[in-house]
Structure 1
Amino acid sequence: MAGLFVPEFIDYHDGQKVVRVADWPLLPPHQNIVEFRPSGVSQRDYTLSVTVTYNEVDPTSGTEVTQTATHSWRCCVIHDYSSGRDKLLEYMNASRE
């Protein structure tokens, strides 16, 4: 689920100016991070629907009948913010190497 809750922004020093990027892949390595703002979205809701078409034999007539069945599930993903914390720690530790 990487990328589901992208940061609002990451600010870093580039010489004397502060530059803002939208996500970790856009952040150049070994930069001095000024501010990291995690995603303000705390929950994503989705509906997953599956439709199946299948054939079965009608027991009374013996003929093959096409049937369709649909089932839906509500999926709720809650952001626990640990991915942003972990990515920030990983970046800062890599900058020290």
Structure 2
Amino acid sequence: MDHSNHVRLQVDELTENNLEGATIYGPGDEKIGQVSHLHGVGSDAQVVVDVGGLLGIGAKPVAIPISRLDFMRDEAHAVHAVTTWTKDELKALPEHQH
């Protein structure tokens, strides 16, 4: 997917309503996870991403700073994000405890 033409979300758009369920793409443009929920607001928020698993079953939730994700909308207005982290790097993070 070519993300260069996608519209970046503004800070005030980084809400749980907009981000929940968003697909996260890694450096090779592969799907590496999905946003479960947020902790906090704005640029200090933590995004809880479900990594691995199948259809949400067996996925490992990990919390990462929202600043490490570049959220945007595609041509169909679907919100997604790209990151430099790989799926293996995310899976190596400690599991997020609710």
Select the structure with the greater relative contact order (CA < 8 A; seq sep ≥ 6). Answer: 2
Same fold by TM-score greater than 0.5:
no
Greater strand proportion: 1
Instruction: Mark the structure with the bigger radius of gyration.
Output: 1
TM-score of the superposition, structure 1-length normalised?
0.23
TM-score of the superposition, structure 2-length normalised?
0.22
